[in-house]
Amino acid sequence: MILRLTHVSTFIGQFHILQDISLEVPAGEVTVILGRNGAGKTTTLRSIMGLAPATGGTISFMGESLNGLPPYAAARRGIGYVPEDQAVFAVLTVEENLRLAMLRRDRAGNERLRFVLDIFPDLAQKLKQKGGSLSGGQKQMLAIGRALVHDSRLLLIDEPSKGLAPIMVEKLAGALRQIKDHTTVVLVEQNFNLASAVGERYVIIDDGHTVQQGLMSDLQADQNLQRRYLGIAAAREGGKVV
Amino acid sequence: MDVFVNLTLSGLSTGMMIFLVASGLSLIFGLMGVLNFAHGSLFMWGAYAGVWVFARTHSFTLALLAGMAAGAMVGWVMERLTIRRIYGNVVAQILITTGVMLVLNELLSATFGPNIIATTVPPLLAGSWAFGNIVVVKYRVFTIVVGFLVALAVHFMLSRTRVGIIVRAGVENQEMVQVLGINIRQVFSLVFVFGSALAALGGVMMAPAIGAVNSGMGIENQMLAFIVVVIGGMGSFLGSALGSVIVGLAGAYTAWFFPEASLAVNVVLMALVLLLKPNGLFGMGGE
């Protein structure tokens, strides 16, 4: 397992958001964290990164504890994080956004940059454009591309499809399929169609607790579980798998 | 025409002098948003250190280096002990940096005494050139050159180097910079120390121009520095440079053509700019 959370507990202010999160992420796969709004999905990712430090339990990455590490130290160990709000640096150009993530300007870094521009050709045409002037979908691509340039062995992506047009979601799904050949991905996603199209494993979180985890194919077949924790059965009947 | 050229040269030189004081504040306040009311004290520590070293060595180069080193050292201690804990907390910044200003000023008075200490322009930079009725003071030309070089160097650093990109990104979103593996607090500490050294450089340069250092020079020049940073626009280093030149030229022309208004011209300029462009001439968002 590349990432293991054991009985993780996290407070944000006085609120006990994560109460008992345990999950395992195998290397080389896409694990999707699912759950209702407010279940604790985003806080789980933020706790792994050290942005919302865990107050209890253990978080280990490649066998080493991440507990107590500041976010930059977690990132230096090879964890990339893409937040849900398409956080690109508006005052920097696309190229500067990408270069910022390259800790070393070596051959491997340049190869990763080329890979990013291959899977997101829209960005290649806008290298000199300011990040703030991109469309929502392009910003999302830039945010993901930046985490990839960083040489992440584990990529945490929070709701990449949020607010995107269906055509952009399809492009994103294509990119995620290419990315998962290079790095392990933990994806928080409300769009079950996207989640099931790219995910190999799932973890369901509800009210700050891990309630179920396993293979995505099992979840796709278990409509009772989908209805109980995800409330998506009705929507899925008319949905299109991307 | 001669009067116009003389006034313009004088205004440019004063503007660049103001810019040297304001350049550090432009980084610390304009870019990082730290409301540092001890900036004038850092400027004064530079001035006193420069005068002290120049009096003993007669080397203005050593005076410049010593002044900047003193500013950097005081800035580093100040950042470690106070500023580091109050990034993002404006009320605490006002209270604590005001306290630091009092401590730093008193330390200077205790060390050098409360009286004015006279100094001179270095021999190489003393005197003037005359072209007909146009008189060009050598030290004024030197300040214009130094101010211009500082503006270029810092602009290059902010816009072309990795450190500059990190600073601009960190000002926009510290959290996102951290998750890229960058210790932004460390970078901000370095920028604070660099800004402090620039403030001290302004002090060393100012001392020969006014012929003395005194314990009130910090607060006077700090006010000017805040005015030009606001006129230029928060977050814009080149805006501060342009704001300094505008204030310098306006001061020179007003003093000649409308002397009654010369005391009020800086504040009137700031009010005008804020009325027309509330974010300053170049607004938010860096270079």
ipTM entry: 0.87
* Cα(B179)–Cα(A75) distance, integer angstroms: 6
Cβ within 8 Å, pair A70-B182? no
Three-class SS of B65-104: HHHHHHHHHHHHHHHHHCHHHCCCCHHHHHHHHHHHHHHH
pLDDT value at A219 more than 80: yes
pLDDT digits (tens, 9 = 90+) for B15-56: 998 998 898 898 898 888 889 999 999 999 999 999 999 999
Question: Which among A70, A75, A96 is the nearest to B180, CB-wise?
Answer: A75
The pLDDT assigned to B284 comes to 57
**Which comes out higher in pLDDT, residue A241 or A215?**
A215
DSSP character string of B2-37: HHHHHHHHHHHHHHHHHHHHHHHHIIIIIIT----T
CA A156 from centroid of its chain's CA atoms = 3
Q: Where are the beta strands (DSSP E) in A104-222?
A: 154-158, 184-188, 201-206, 209-215
* Cα(B16)–Cα(A43) distance, integer angstroms: 50
* pLDDT above 70: percentage of residues in chain B: 98
* Cα(B280)–Cα(B233) distance, integer angstroms: 4
* Cα(A70)–Cα(A52) distance, integer angstroms: 10
Q: Which pair of structure tokens corresponds to residue A28?
A: 């080389």
**Minimal C-alpha gap between A41 and chain B (Å):** 18
* pLDDT above 90: percentage of residues in chain B: 67
Cβ within 8 Å, pair B285-A76? no
Q: What is the mean pLDDT of residues B204-226?
A: 91
Cβ within 8 Å, pair B179-A75? yes
Query: Would you call B128 an interface residue with chain A, using a CB distance cutoff of 8 Å?
Result: no
Chain A residues whose beta carbon lies within 8 Å of the beta carbon of residue B170: none
* Cα(A97)–Cα(B165) distance, integer angstroms: 9
AA identity, residue A125 = Q
pLDDT digits (tens, 9 = 90+) for A103-142: 777 788 888 888 889 888 889 999 999 999 999 889 988 9
The pLDDT assigned to A234 comes to 44
Q: What is the mean pLDDT of residues B112-127?
A: 93
Question: Which among B166, B168, B176 is the nearest to A87, CB-wise?
Answer: B176
The pLDDT assigned to B88 comes to 84
Q: What is the mean pLDDT of residues B221-228?
A: 90
Model confidence at A232, pLDDT cuts 50, 70, 90, reads low
Q: What is the mean pLDDT of residues A66-85?
A: 93
Model confidence at B287, pLDDT cuts 50, 70, 90, reads very low
The pLDDT assigned to A86 comes to 73
Model confidence at B285, pLDDT cuts 50, 70, 90, reads very low
Q: Other C-beta atoms within 10 Å of B211: how many?
A: 11
AA identity, residue A52 = A
The separation between the first and the last C-alpha atoms of chain A, rounded to the nearest angstrom, is 28
Sign of the alpha-carbon torsion through A126, A127, A133, A135? positive
Question: Which among B166, B173, B181 is the nearest to A75, CB-wise?
Answer: B181
Flag whether the pTM goes above 0.80. Answer: yes
* Cα(B192)–Cα(B170) distance, integer angstroms: 13
Q: What is the mean pLDDT of residues A226-232?
A: 75
The pLDDT assigned to B140 comes to 92
The pLDDT assigned to A106 comes to 76
DSSP annotation of A200 reads: S
The pLDDT assigned to A161 comes to 86
pLDDT value at B286 more than 80: no
Model confidence at A182, pLDDT cuts 50, 70, 90, reads confident
Q: What is the mean pLDDT of residues A60-64?
A: 95
Cβ within 8 Å, pair A89-B286? no
Query: Would you call B182 an interface residue with chain A, using a CB distance cutoff of 8 Å?
Result: yes
Model confidence at A226, pLDDT cuts 50, 70, 90, reads confident
- H or E stretch including B252? helix B237-257
Task: For chain B, give the mean pLDDT.
Answer: 91
pLDDT value at B82 more than 90: yes
Q: What is the mean pLDDT of residues B214-224?
A: 89
Query: Would you call B163 an interface residue with chain A, using a CB distance cutoff of 8 Å?
Result: no
Task: For chain A, give the mean pLDDT.
Answer: 88
The residue to which tokens 């398409």 are assigned: A86
The pLDDT assigned to B282 comes to 85
pLDDT value at B211 more than 50: yes
Supply φ then ψ for residue A6, to 5 degrees.
Answer: -125, 115
266-285 in chain B: CB under 8 A from chain A:
285
Chain B residues whose beta carbon lies within 8 Å of the beta carbon of residue A100: 162, 165-166, 169, 177, 180, 182
Helix/strand/coil for A109: helix
Give burial (CB, 10 Å; 0-12/13-18/19+) of B276.
exposed
Cβ within 8 Å, pair B168-A87? no
* Cα(B26)–Cα(B238) distance, integer angstroms: 9
CA distances from A234 to A162, A223, A227, B186 (A): 20, 10, 8, 51
Closest Cα partner for A217 from A196, A235, A233? A196
DSSP character string of A38-52: TSSHHHHHHHHHTSS
